[in-house]
Each structure stands twice: as structure tokens, then as C-alpha cells.
Amino acid sequence: MAEAFSPQESARIRADFPILARTGRGDHPLVYLDSGATSQKPRQVVEAERRYYETVNAGAHRGAHLLSEEATDAYESARATVARFVGAAEPDEIVFTKNATESLNLVAYAFSNAGFDGAMDGVDPAVAERFRLGPGDEVCVTEMEHHANLVPWQELCRRTGATLRWLGVTDEGRLDLSTLDEVVNERTKVLAFTHVSNVLGTVNPVATLVERAREVGAITVLDACQSAPHLRLDVQQLGVDLAAFSGHKMFGPTGVGVLWGRSELLAAMPPFITGGSMIAVVRMEQTTYAAPPARFEAGSMNVAQAVGLAAACDYLDELGLERVHAHETALTQRLLDGLAERPWVRVVGPTTTQDRGASVAFVVDGVHAHDVGQVLDDQGIEVRVGHHCAWPLHRRMRVAATTRASMAAYNTADEIDALLQALDRVPAVFGLETSQEAS
């Protein structure tokens, strides 16, 4: 079984992240516990992107000169690295986007565009039918989705006349599967769901959801933003049809995301954005489109960011995702145990580490999450406050906002203790009556 990083290993990992050496407000040591929003970047990623700009920079797939050839090689090498990282069957199953939101919109618009005349010409009729939505068809999501995996499907249903349905969430923060066979039925064309909740930390039962989707012929779309940096992500083993994730949450640059898809599905999907580079033949009267992934990468490519993302994949592989997960699980357990000792704090979501990721959301009853966050920030503790782009989930859990601590491989037990100690200031600052003296 994988073990958490030793203090010596943690020190070496932290040395790779220059920003962790700075201080926060009041010159307190910086404790960064907001990796669920965006992670920090190791030197290896920053240097990979810098080397590209300093030695290779040119238009990828746009020239026959040396630099252009080298830029193209760098871009396609990055694609191959990302493909290996997620267990893709081949590099061409990887589409580079600017973030996971764009990846998910790409898929939603493919379903929308499939309904136009001629959009699916040349596609196997059985495959084409899987993408055509209209009145009577259904799209299913879950109540714990980030807005990026909810709003695009709402809009798709609005454009096509399909009906949006969803799986609910239990009081414990798990998916309510009691209605799975009813909600995911013969009318379901799409089942889109998060792998790990960005609020609750819940790791969802992918195998169960995929099995039901296959029974009814629905296409599965996985939001892997909160799993790619923390769990070994093998898309073939998971069995989903499409998956999206962002570079900036997994030690990579901003401005680059990924859509992975099965080859036969990508080949059938109409484009989302049109223009240069995604074409086969252009005439004044009509244009034909390139094969994937180029079909979905119109315009100038985000080459430097793709190179940086590949470096992030290499970095995570070097750390070992199994050890990363073990380390984060130990930190999560330490935080859950500490919060349980403070009766004036309530965890929103699972209170054990079983099937759980490294994000812990909590509330202090009687104190707004923004105020809790301010007290923590004053002590150098950086967390996220608000509804975390998951407003319906917060309504379901009967809270307006939460304070969320989200951990990564570079965090330490001492930082969890610092968070808990800073949190102990909240009752005194806001005059809360507690049943237990703050430790």
C-alpha cells in the first residue's frame, strides 16, 4: 500500500514550488489550501514553458521552417504525454482546449450542432443518432455538479427541446442512486457527472454509473478536474466515453485544458469552433473539416501551455499518484479529525475518508463563510469561500456558502494544524458560544 510522503520528501516537494516560500497577510507563513480552485506550479513546469519560448517558439502546424517543425513536434509530444498520463488508447484521442469548461461546452455544442442538416453526413447512422437530441430525449447530470458541467447541458436542452434530469444528493453528500434506473432510462442520451465533487470531496461510483448508461445507450461525460491531480486517472479502465480536465488544477499552466474522447465518437462529432487549422478543404462555397483532434483545435494552438501541461504530467508521474493520494488522504483525515473536535464547526459532505478526495467544506453556524475566510486569511491561511460554482449543491445541503480547504501533494500536517489553530480564533472574534473551549 502506498505511503504518505515523509517530512523529508515533503520538504523536497515544497522546494519545487517557489511561491510557497513567500508570506501571506501580516507576514505570516503562507499556507495555501485552495488547490481545488487552482494549484501552484513547480519549477519544472515553469521552466518547460520558459524553454519553449526561449528556444522553440513558432507557429505549430503552420510552417515548413525549422522552428515551426520543432514547435509542432513539441506540441504533438505534449499530446502524447497527456495521452499516456490518462491511459488513452492513442494520442489523437486528446484534444487541447483552454480549460475544462471549454471542453465540456465543446461536447455540448457537438450534440447541438449534430441536429443541423448535413452536420452528420458520412457518419454511421447508428452513431449519428446517438448525438441527435430533440423533444422526448433526456440529458442527465447530478445535483453536485460544478456549473461548468451543468449550465452547458441546461443550454443544450434549451436549444434542442430535450429534458434535463438529475440524480440527487443524500444528506451525507453521496449520490442518491435509489432512483438511478428511473432517472437514467431509455430516453437518456447523455449522462454527465463529476468524478470527484469540488465541494464535498465525494468520489463518485463511476463503474455503477457507466454500467447503467451502457444499458440504455447513453454517452457518458466525466468531469475529471478534481481527480486528475489526485487519483490515477485511466479513462479506459473507467469506461467513460468522454472526459474533461484542466491543466491549472494539476500543477500545469493556466490556459490549457483537455478533452479526451473515444476515437469513434470524436470522429463523429461536428466542430465547436471553426477557422484555421481545423479544415481539410476550403472553397468559397463550402468547407470540409479535418479529422480529430485538429477538427476541434481551430486557430493558433496554446503550444507553450500544452508543453507545460506535459511537464506537469511528468511531475505527477514522478511523485506517483498512488503516493499523492495516500498523502492527501492522511491530511484529509487529520483535518476531519480536527474539525470533529470543534462542535461549533460542521463539515458539509462525507465525514470519513472512504471514497473521498482532498477537499473539505465546512460551516461555522452563525458566521458567514466570507467572515471565516477573512479570519483565516489574516493568519496567512488561503482557503476558498462561497458556493464554489456549485450553487444548486449548496441549496441542497441547506447552506448559503461554505469555507473549503483543498489540499495537494505539497501540503503538510503542520499546515493542517495551522488552519485549525487559526479557525479557533473565529468564536472569539464573533462572540460565539461554544460547548467546548477552543483548543
Could you tell me the fold of the domain covering 7-32+320-430? Aspartate Aminotransferase, domain 1 (3.90.1150)
Q: What is the mean pLDDT of the chain?
A: 96
SS3 20: helix
Q: Residue 439: what pLDDT?
A: 39
Give the CA-trace dihedral at 422, 427, 428, 431, to 10 degrees.
160
Query: Where exactly does CATH 3.90.1150.10 map onto the chain?
Result: 7-32+320-430
Q: Could you give the CA distance from residue 301 to residue 90 in angstroms, rounded to a whole number?
A: 20
| 4: its cell numbers | 504518505
ω into 42 cis (within 30 of 0):
no
- Concatenating the DSSP letter of every residue in 353-415 gives STTB-SEEEEEETTB-HHHHHHHHHHTTEE-EEE-TT-HHHHHHTT-S-EEEEE--TT--HHH
DSSP 146: -
pLDDT tens across 210-253, in order?
999 999 999 999 999 999 999 999 999 999 999 999 999 999 99
- Concatenating the DSSP letter of every residue in 165-201 gives EEE-B-TTSSB-GGGHHHHS-TTEEEEEEESB-TTT-
Backbone angles phi, psi at 405, to 5 degrees: -105, 125
For residue 253, give the nearest of 94, 38, 93 by alpha carbon. 38
Q: Which residues have C-beta within 8 Å of that of residue 372, sequence separation ≥ 6?
A: 364, 385, 403, 423, 426
Strand duo 402-406 + 287-289: pairing = unpaired
SS3 341: coil
Strand duo 94-97 + 257-261: pairing = antiparallel
157 as an active site residue: the answer is: no
Query: Where exactly does CATH 3.40.640.10 map onto the chain?
Result: 47-317
Indicate the class that CATH gives domain 47-317: alpha beta
Is residue 95 a contact partner of residue 262, using CB atoms and an 8 Å limit?
A: no
pLDDT tens across 155-202, in order?
999 999 999 999 999 999 999 999 999 999 999 999 999 999 999 999
Looking at 140, 225, 313, 389, which residue is catalytic? 389
Q: Could you give the CA distance from residue 403 to residue 377 in angstroms, rounded to a whole number?
A: 12
Total-model pTM? 0.96
| 34: its cell numbers | 485552495
Query: What angle (nearest 5°) sits at the alpha carbon of residue 93, between those of residues 87 and 96?
Result: 105
The long-range contacts involving 54-63, CB below 8 angstroms and separated by at least 24 positions, are 57/303, 57/304, 59/300, 60/301, 60/303, 61/277, 61/294, 61/301, 62/277, 62/300
| 313: its cell numbers | 504530467
Is residue 105 a contact partner of residue 272, using CB atoms and an 8 Å limit?
A: yes
Stretches in the chain below the pLDDT threshold 70: 435-439
**Residue 222: in which H helix or E strand, if any?**
strand 219-223
User: Quick one: 199 exposed, middle or buried, by C-beta within 10 A (0-12, 13-18, 19+)?
Assistant: buried
| 31: its cell numbers | 499556507
Q: Residue 381: what pLDDT?
A: 98
SS3 77: helix
Q: Which residue's C-alpha cell is 511537464?
A: 311
Strand duo 138-142 + 163-167: pairing = parallel
